[in-house]
Amino acid sequence: MKIQIHRPLREEVYDALRQAIVRGELSPGLRVVETEVAGRLGISRTPVREALRKLEAEGFLSKGPGSSLMVSAMSPEEVEETFRIRAVLEGLAARLAAERATPEGIEKLEGILKRSEAQMDGEAPERLLEWNTRFHDGLNALSGSAQLQQLLQAIHDKILRYRRITLGVGRSSKVWLREHRAILRAVKERDPGRAERLIAQHVLRKKETVLAYLRNRGEKGREDKRWTG
């Protein structure tokens, strides 16, 4: 993790820590110790303390034993709620895309999908995550609704944490690519109802993958581990 001092230091620390959580570099249950993070980064404790408070307020960190902080685990209830919200929002985005998307916009999304299909074999997980995110972001953009995209952005980091799981376990990449292709076909054929239904089903199937992962793995024992930067 690196920081660049061109903004208030507390914001740099906050962004660096949040991205580390979102990218999975900080696993749920890992302890984040203020003094050790400050020492690792070579800065005072004050900006680290302020960054940790903000992350706790946003739910990325939670109280552990005593006064310690730990990376928040993903509860089944949180997964259920987040994916239901996502299914509704992305369903509406797909419906609007089928109604409003320009030929140029559809062609651009087609290009994203073709590129991901062509590069699927042997791709590293990070690259698969990037292509998956590009498709969903591109589809949402086709809705033409800035307000809807803002709502989706508000839960983007939570969604991204879950996407790392759905691409790593459960259904293969070929399956979700096939589902992406079906969703895009519905948009191209100007079928709003089908586009909405397919993306909602796609999202809710990912929810089941995440819930199964949490049931099988759990977070036992992770609270005793520390992360220092």
Q: Where is average pLDDT lowest: 70-84, 88-102, 155-169, 188-202?
A: 155-169
**How many Cβ atoms are within 10 Å of 213's Cβ, its own excluded?**
18
Most confidently predicted of 21-35, 52-66, 156-170, 183-197: 183-197
Q: Find all residues with CB under 8 Å of 103, minimum gap 6, and list them.
A: none
Residue for token pair 């369903």: 91
Q: What is the DSSP string of the chain?
A: -----SS-HHHHHHHHHHHHHHTTSS-TT-EE-HHHHHHHHTS-HHHHHHHHHHHHHTTSEEE-STT-EEEPP--HHHHHHHHHHHHHHHHHHHHHHHHH--HHHHHHHHHHHHHHHHT-TT--HHHHHHHHHHHHHHHHHTT--HHHHHHHHHTHHHHHHHHHHHHHSSS-HHHHHHHHHHHHHHHHTT-HHHHHHHHHHHHHHHHHHHHHHHHHH--TTGGG-EE--
Q: Where is average pLDDT lowest: 33-37, 168-172, 195-199?
A: 168-172
Residue for token pair 């879950």: 162
Q: Name the more confident of 182 and 175.
A: 182
- Measured CA distances, 60 to 30, 137, 176, 185, 222 (Å): 12, 23, 28, 37, 16
End-to-end CA distance of the chain: give it in Å, rounded.
Answer: 7
Say yes or no to pLDDT of 34 above 50: yes
**Residue 35: Cβ-neighbour burial (10 angstroms; 0-12, 13-18, 19+):** exposed
CA dihedral 116, 118, 124, 126 (to 10 degrees): -10
Residues 105-150 pLDDT 10s: 999 999 999 988 877 665 565 677 788 889 999 999 999 999 999 9
Say yes or no to pLDDT of 21 above 80: yes
Domains of the chain: 9-72 (1.10.10.10), 76-217 (1.20.120.530)
Say yes or no to pLDDT of 19 above 90: no
Residues 201-215 pLDDT 10s: 999 998 998 898 888
Sheet holding 61-63, edge to edge: 61-63, 69-71, 31-32, 226-227
**Reported confidence tier of residue 154, pLDDT bands at 50, 70, 90:** confident
Q: Which pLDDT score is estimated for 52? A: 96
